[in-house]
Amino acid sequence: MTNMSPELLTAIMMGGVFIGVLTGYPLGFIVGALALGVGYFVFGGQVVDVIYSRIYGIITEYVILAVPLFVFMGVMLERSGISEKLYDALYVWLGGLRGGLAIITVLMGTIIAATVGIIAASITMLTMVALPSMMKRGYSKSLATGSITAGGCLGILIPPSIMLVLYGPMAGVSVGKLFFGAFFPGFTLSALYIIYIAVRSFLQPNIAPAVPPEERKVPFLKKTWMLTIALGPVAILIMAVLGVIFLGIAPPTEAAGVGAFTATLLTIAYRRFSWSVLKEVALLTMRACGFIFVIVSMAVAFTAVFLGGGGREVMQEIIMSAPGGKWGVFAVIMFIIFIMGMFIEWIGIVYIMVPIITPIAEAAGFNVLWFSIMVCVNLQMAFMTPPFASGIFICRGACDPKLGVTMGDIVRGVLPHVGLIMVGLAIFTIFPEIITWLPGQMIR
C-alpha cells in the first residue's frame, strides 16, 4: 500500500481508460486491469475484498434480474414475425407520402422500442425488413440507413430499456420512474426524426419518392384490419410489461418475467415457435448477458477503486469550478458524456460515470430523475458518433452486400439525427416536465 494522491489516481485511471480504449482491447479488460493495478497501490492486499464487496452488492441487486428477462423477451420477439406484419400494415397507410418508407421505419423503431429494449435486435430487424424496400424504390442510401439506425437506437431509451435497468441502481433512482420518465423524451426524438425526414423529402423529392398508388391499392377496411392485427400483439406486450409497472401491480423484475412469457406466447401464436428457436433464443440471451455482466463487473471494480481513492472528490472539484453556475456544471457533464460516448461502450459509461456525476448533479441542485434521463438521451448519440458508434456497425453488418451500402453512407445518414438529439436535449432542458410529469402519475 502506498500514499497515492487522489489527483494522481484520477489522472491515471481516467487517462488509462481513454488510452486503453485506443489500443483496441475490450473495455472490460481495460477497466478491470486498471482497478486491480491502481487498487493494489491504494488498498494493498485488501483490494480484492474492496472490489469483491462492490461487485457482489451490484450483481445481487434484485432489479438486475430484469436484464436477462428483457433480453430474452427482445430476442424472442425478433423471431415472432411481428415486425414484418407491422411494416406491411404501415406500408399501405403511409407509403404514398414522400419519404413515407423512412417515416414508417422510424415509427416501427419507436413501436419496437417499446417491446424489445436492445438496439442490436431493433436495428437488425429494421435493416432486414425496411432497407431492401427503400433501396428498391430509389431512396437515398444515407437517408434510408440514417432512419434505420436512429429509429433502432430508440430501443435503448424507450422502455423497457436495458440501459435504464442498469442505470437505476447506480444512481439510486427507481427503475420504474426511469421507465416512465423516458417515454416522452423517446417519443419527442421520434417526432423530430419524422419531421426531419418529411421536410427533407419535400425539399428533395428525388431522394425519397412516394410508392406508386398501384402498389398500395388496398381497401380501407382491409388495411385498417391489417393495422389492428399488427398493433394488437404489440399493445398486449406493452401492457403486460409497462402497464403492470405503471399501475403498481408489479416492479420491473416481475414485469420483465411477464414480458418474456408473453413474447413466447406471441411467437407461438404466430406459429414461429419451435424447440430450435427456443434453444437459439436462450443461447443468444446468455451470450448477450455474459457480455453485459463482464463489463458491469469490471466497471464496478473500477468505480470501487476510483471512489475509494478519492477520485470523485477531485472530479467534483474540477466540474463544480466550471463557469456559469449550475448550468455550466451541467454543460461540462454533458460534454464529458458525449466525448466518452465516441470511444467507450455505454455500459462502461453508466457504471464508471454515474456514481461520480450523480452526487455532483444533486449538489448543483438538479432533479436526479430529470438529470438521469438527460444523461440517457445524451447516450443516444454514443451509438451514432464514430469511431465507436455501435449502431452504425450493427446496421452495416445487417445490410445485404448486394445493396452496396457503405460505412460512409450510414455515417452521413446518422449525423443529422445526432444534431436532432442535441435539439431534443435543449427542449428537455427548457421544458423539464416532459421528463418529470409521467413518473409523478404512477400508482404507488
Of 376, 377, 379, 400, which Cα lies nearest the Cα of 388? 379
Contact 340, 353 (CB under 8 A): yes
Of 354, 351, 346, which Cα lies nearest the Cα of 296? 351
d(CA 385, CA 392): 8
| DSSP class per residue in 363-424 | HHT--HHHHHHHHHHHHHGGGTSTTT-HHHHHHHHHS-GGG---HHHHHHHHHHHHHHHHHH
Per-residue pLDDT in tens (0 to 9) along the chain, 444 residues: 567 788 999 999 999 998 988 887 888 889 999 999 999 888 888 888 888 888 888 888 888 889 999 999 988 888 888 888 888 888 888 888 899 999 999 999 998 888 777 788 889 889 988 999 999 989 999 999 999 999 999 988 998 888 999 999 999 999 999 999 999 999 999 999 999 999 999 999 999 998 888 777 788 888 888 888 888 888 888 888 888 888 888 888 899 999 999 999 999 988 899 999 999 999 999 998 998 899 899 999 999 999 988 998 999 999 999 998 999 999 999 999 999 999 888 998 999 999 999 999 999 999 999 999 999 999 999 999 988 889 999 999 999 889 999 999 999 999 999 999 999 999 999 999 999 999 988 765
SS (H, E, C) 347-375: HHHHHHHHHHHHHHHHHHCCCHHHHHHHH
What distance lies between CA 367 and its chain's CA centroid?
22
pTM for the full predicted model: 0.91
